[in-house]
Amino acid sequence: MQFLKHISIGELRDMALSMYGNLIKVDVDVVKRVVIADMEMHADGEAELLKNGSKQQDLWGINLYPDKFGTPEFIEFDSMINIKPRQNNMSRGVENEQTRALITEIISEVIHE
């Protein structure tokens, strides 16, 4: 598990190969704009972010598919940590379009070719 500030798509591919082969689990704190990646479960990254001062309501889990970089399928908004009834997010997805856009923006700041 590691915090990401800047990472290349090649480094992401290597990271994916070491865990799931084609994807990387990532958690994003949308307020602090912090990204943590490369864990077995989103809950692991969530716990680490909480230990570092993040707030539960600011954390969202996604999957990245390095081989699909540059396409809409690069980011998959799917994680158990996304089920947040108090925030009207009743599914594993990220239902709020503004939140999805913010996550996409943060990820695009961290990942480069």
- What's residue 64's pLDDT? 97
- What's residue 77's pLDDT? 98
- What's residue 113's pLDDT? 83
Q: How many CB atoms lie within 10 A of CB 96?
A: 13
Separation between Cα atoms, residue 101 and residue 113, nearest integer Å? 20
In the numeric block, which tokens belong to residue 71?
């396409």
Q: What is the value of pTM for the model shown? A: 0.94
Domain-wise residue ranges, the chain:
2-112
Q: What is the chain's pLDDT, residue by residue, as a tens digit (113 residues)?
A: 999 999 999 999 999 988 878 999 999 999 999 999 999 999 999 999 999 999 999 999 999 999 999 999 999 999 999 999 999 999 999 999 999 999 999 999 999 88
Cα separations in angstroms, 66 against 38, 58, 71: 13, 24, 10
Could you give the residue ranges of the DSSP H alpha helices within 6-78? 9-19, 42-51
Q: How many CB atoms lie within 10 A of CB 60?
A: 26
- What's residue 20's pLDDT? 76
Q: In this structure, which amino acid lies at residue 75? A: I
Cα separations in angstroms, 41 against 25, 36, 38: 7, 12, 9
